[in-house]
Structure 1
Amino acid sequence: MPERNERANNAIQWLLQGVALILVQQKPLEKIRLLTNEEYREQGRIETEKALAELRKYCQSPDCNAWKTVSRLESPARFASFIAGSSHLTSDEIRIYDELSDDESLIQTDDDSECTDFYLSSPP
Structure 2
Amino acid sequence: MGRNDDQKKVCGFRIEPGEIAARLVEHASVRDAVVVAHGEDAAGKRLVAYAVTAAEHAGEAEGPELSATLRTHLSACLPEYIVPYAFVRLAALPLTPNGKPDRKALPVPAPKDEACATGRL
| TM bucket, shorter chain | under 0.3
Q: What TM-score results when the alignment is normalised by the length of structure 2?
A: 0.20
Greater Rg over alpha carbons, structure: 1
Higher helix share: 1
Higher strand share: 2
